[in-house]
Amino acid sequence: MSFVSEVKEELCDFPIENSLAQMEFAGFLKFKGMLEIGRKTYFELIIKSTCAARRVKKLLGIMHEDKVEVFYHEEKRLKAGRIFSFRINVDDIMVFLRKIGLSSTGKVEERNFSDPTIFSAFLRGAFISSGSVADPSRHHHLEIYYRKPEILHSISKRLNDFFGINGHIISVQYGYRFYIKNGSMIEEFLNFIGAKKSSWKVHNIMMESRIRSDVTRSMNFIEANSKRSGNATLKQIRAIMNVEYELGLESLPFELHRVAKLRLENPELSLRELGMLFDPPLSKSIVHRRLRKILEISQRNGGKG
């Protein structure tokens, strides 16, 4: 399962508070709905995943909307899989829009964006229906698509006001995208809309990446420092590893065995710093002499100087 599918599955299982069901449904309807006026007046909502369709059905049940027809078909041409169509028959358009917090023109009423809890519910519906997020182990990218920019600007402003999340909006074919590229901000966004496990996964991947980067920087520093000092440290480590392979470090006299282990455990330390690890401390010359003896033992057993 892709990461975005994991996120949406988690959001679809998020507990629904009855008082927030209308605003989450408004997020679905705003981003994937349309109004049809004819012999029957109904709102149509197109959903492209089974878990999202299940979520919408549950929301409509909480809202006590019983004039609902559900259709589905397999879309083979674009490999979209099963597509669900919800038709919500309404007697009065304005009453229904007010019920879910939308104005007569379909705009989200600003008061619904001033409360973080209500805004979170709306954003959850919007993301499940029209959002996407990349696998964080590859790169950081989260986006929500809509055909007009106004609602995306409102979302961007509120996210910045509440959490300092800086998103960007670009024009694309047939619409606009609000997107976030910062890993920590994506983590914050997912946590805010209820995908806490996915948010934690993003966090862990970023931490692992930082640790790997720190280790790589340290090793590069050690290697560069070793090159500047005539590759002495690398020669010492190679000699110790050769002795370990050919003879075993246990074969060394105690004082050589001790310095060998400390050098392997602390490749970044200078000879003077290495000497300070002994009790009592050893001078730089004594440490050097002992490492030199290990180098000679290694050379006698096939190691390179």
Q: Is 130 exposed, middle or buried (0-12, 13-18, 19+ CB in 10 A)?
A: buried
What pLDDT does 41 receive?
83
Is the same domain home to 174 and 244? no
CA distance 266 to 272: 12
Residue scoring higher pLDDT (200 or 76): 200
Domain boundary among 175, 207, 239: 207
- Domain that includes residue 127, residue range: 3-207
Residue scoring higher pLDDT (47 or 112): 47
Is the same domain home to 10 and 110? yes
Q: Dihedral through CA 97, CA 98, CA 104, CA 108, nearest 10?
A: -90
Residue scoring higher pLDDT (109 or 70): 70
Token pair of 79 as six digits: 């490999």
What pLDDT does 81 receive?
65
Q: Is 189 exposed, middle or buried (0-12, 13-18, 19+ CB in 10 A)?
A: buried
Confidence of residue 9 (pLDDT cuts 50, 70, 90): very high
Q: In this predicted structure, which of 14-18, 96-100, 152-156, 177-181 has the lowest mean pLDDT? A: 96-100
Is the same domain home to 186 and 236? no
Residue scoring higher pLDDT (5 or 265): 5
Read off the pLDDT of each residue in 232-244 and give the average, rounded to a whole number.
Answer: 85
- What is the spatial order of strands in the sheet that 41-47 belongs to? 33-37, 41-47, 81-89, 68-75
Q: What is the pLDDT of residues 21-61, one digit of tens each?
A: 999 999 999 999 888 877 788 899 999 889 999 999 999 99
CA distance 186 to 163: 11
Q: In this predicted structure, which of 55-59, 96-100, 107-111 has the lowest mean pLDDT? A: 107-111
CA distance 140 to 185: 10
Domain presence at residue 91 = yes
Q: What is the pLDDT of residues 129-155, one digit of tens each?
A: 999 999 999 999 999 999 999 999 999
Q: What is the pLDDT of residues 284-305, one digit of tens each?
A: 999 999 999 999 988 888 765 5
Q: Residue 6 contacts by C-beta under 8 Å, 6 or more apart in sequence? A: 198
Q: Are residues 47 and 8 in contact, defined by beta-carbon separation less than 8 angstroms?
A: no
Is the same domain home to 24 and 164? yes
Is the same domain home to 188 and 238? no
Read off the pLDDT of each residue in 2-20 and give the average, rounded to a whole number.
Answer: 94
Residue scoring higher pLDDT (223 or 167): 167
Strand partners, 102: 108
Is the same domain home to 55 and 183? yes
Is the same domain home to 238 and 98? no
Q: In this predicted structure, which of 63-77, 127-141, 222-236, 247-261 has the lowest mean pLDDT? A: 222-236
Which amino acid is it at 229?
S
Q: Are residues 240 and 264 in contact, defined by beta-carbon separation less than 8 angstroms?
A: yes
Q: Are residues 32 and 47 in contact, defined by beta-carbon separation less than 8 angstroms?
A: yes
Q: How many structural domains are present in the chain?
A: 2
Domain presence at residue 25 = yes
With a threshold of 0.85, does the pTM exceed it? Answer: no
Is the same domain home to 166 and 261? no
Domain presence at residue 218 = no
Q: What is the pLDDT of residues 163-186, one digit of tens each?
A: 999 999 999 988 999 999 999 999
Residue scoring higher pLDDT (166 or 218): 166
Average pLDDT for the chain = 87
Whether the per-residue pLDDT at 216 is higher than 70: the answer is yes
Domain presence at residue 273 = yes
Q: Are residues 108 and 174 in contact, defined by beta-carbon separation less than 8 angstroms?
A: no
Say which CATH number the domain at 117 has: 3.10.28.10
Whether the per-residue pLDDT at 261 is higher than 70: the answer is yes
Cβ neighbours around 273 below 10 Å, total: 12
Domain presence at residue 222 = no
What radius of gyration do the chain's Cα atoms show? Answer: 31
Most confident option among 74-88, 170-184, 246-260, 287-301: 170-184
Domain presence at residue 28 = yes
Residue 106 region, left (φ>0) first, then alpha (ψ -120 to 50), else beta?
A: left
Domain boundary among 157, 176, 207: 207
Is the same domain home to 64 and 136? yes
